[in-house]
């Protein structure tokens, strides 16, 4: 299991980087816009900390820069110039083991196509009692909560959920620490 | 024929075992909720329901924290010196 501490470090590093990239336009931002920048850069940083090894992280980034997304330019600014972006290694969670290096630029250009083909080890729903509980409203809700959830099934859905929850917790912890520190600095 | 059926059923058992294992890991991640009559073995459906609620809670927290940070960071200029200090404090 990846050490949670290094995950937080990776997230913090990428988050600060993303925030700095938006700094120039930050001068006269409304609070609402600033919140959007903070939240989006945090989400994107969390997803890219996974370096493309999980389905939800790839789906989150692909979603952020999708054509027609209102904050597409903001997301692209946060991700930085294409030359600096890491080539995401697409290793699907699950049984299928094909290794392909996909350049981030290609992902951006064909993000709409990639979204449709990001399938994470499609496992046929096997008729067992536990798998049956995954069918139905609960599964729908879970899929709607996880980015890219519509493409996942069965075992891979639960694996992605685990990873997503761990990442969210790390994100919340780091943000909370930053908030308490900022409050202390402000008081001085 | 029988060997194929055996193979298929063993595959089903494997994935069921996998799912049970994953669900127990999931259960450990979820925050403890004291029930008045707590059963040791919570059903898979209950775990999924708690998972959905937990993810929603985490989403709300991220949103909340972004709100607070946007107000706090308004006064701090997030230039490299301060960011480095904050980073070293958090590590």
**Using CA atoms, how far apart are residues A175 and A169, in angstroms rounded to an integer?**
10
CB < 8 Å to B55, chain A: 142, 145-146, 161, 164-165, 168
- Asked if A19's CB is within 8 angstroms of B29's CB, the reply is no
**Closest CB to B51 among A127, A142, A175:** A142
Give me the residue from A38, A138, A168 closest to B45, CB to CB. A138
Q: Are A142 and A149 in contact (CB under 8 A)?
A: yes
Residue B59 pLDDT grade (very low, low, confident, very high; cuts 50, 70, 90): very high
In this predicted model, which residue has the larger pLDDT, A40 or A124? A40
Q: Would you kindly state where each structural domain of chain B is located, as residue ranges?
A: 43-90
Region B26-38: mean pLDDT is: 67
Mean pLDDT value across residues B71-79: 63
Grade residue B56 by pLDDT with cuts at 50, 70 and 90. very high
Cα-based distances in Å from B57 to A33, A135, B49, B54: 23, 23, 12, 5
Both tokens of A49, joined, read: 């900390």
- pLDDT at residue A78 greater than cutoff 80: no
Going by pLDDT thresholds of 50, 70 and 90, the confidence category of residue A32 is: confident
CA-CA distances (angstroms) from residue A50 to A53, A182, B29, B78? 6, 27, 19, 25
The pLDDT of residue B28: 83
More confident call, B5 vs A29? A29
> How far apart are alpha carbons B62 and B58 in whole angstroms?
6
Domain hosting A153: range is 4-82+128-186
Q: Would A91 be classed as within a structural domain? A: no
Average pLDDT over residues A166-176: 91
Domain count, chain A: 1
Mean pLDDT to the nearest integer, A104-118:
52
User: What are the tokens at B45?
Assistant: 């459906």
Q: Which of B61, B67, B82 is nearest to A16 (CA)?
A: B82
Instruction: Give the chain B residue whose CA is nearest to the CA of A136.
Output: B45
Give residue A3's pLDDT. Answer: 67
Strands (E), chain A: 88-90, 100-102
Whole-model pTM above 0.80? no
**Best-predicted range by mean pLDDT (A21-25, A129-133, B39-43, B86-90):** A21-25
3 state SS of A166: helix
């Amino acid at each position: 299991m990846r050490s949670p501490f290094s995950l937080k470090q990776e997230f913090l590093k990428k988050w600060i980087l993303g925030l700095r990239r938006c700094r120039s336009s930050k001068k006269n931002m409304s609070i609402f816009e600033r919140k959007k920048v903070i939240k989006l850069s945090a989400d994107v940083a969390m997803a890219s900390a996974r370096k493309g090894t999980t389905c939800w992280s790839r789906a989150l980034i692909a979603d952020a820069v999708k054509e027609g997304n209102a904050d597409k330019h903001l997301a692209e600014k946060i991700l930085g110039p294409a030359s600096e972006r890491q080539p995401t290694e697409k290793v699907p969670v699950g049984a299928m083991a094909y290794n392909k290096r996909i350049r981030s630029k290609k992902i951006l250009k064909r993000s709409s196509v990639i979204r449709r083909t990001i399938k994470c080890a499609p496992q046929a729903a096997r008729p067992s009692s536990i798998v049956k509980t995954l069918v139905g409203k609960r599964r729908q809700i879970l899929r709607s909560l996880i980015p890219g959830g519509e493409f996942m099934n069965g075992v891979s859905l639960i694996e992605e959920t685990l990873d997503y929850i761990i990442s969210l917790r790390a994100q919340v912890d780091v943000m909370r620490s930053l908030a308490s520190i900022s409050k202390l600095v402000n008081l001085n | 024929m029988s060997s194929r059926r055996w193979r298929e059923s063993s595959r089903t058992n494997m994935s069921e075992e996998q799912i049970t294992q994953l669900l127990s890991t999931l259960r450990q991640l979820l925050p403890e909720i004291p029930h008045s009559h707590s059963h040791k073995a919570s059903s898979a459906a209950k775990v999924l329901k708690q998972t959905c609620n937990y993810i929603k809670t985490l989403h709300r927290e991220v949103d909340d924290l972004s709100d607070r940070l946007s107000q706090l960071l308004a006064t701090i200029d997030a230039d490299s010196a301060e960011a480095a200090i904050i980073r070293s404090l958090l590590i």
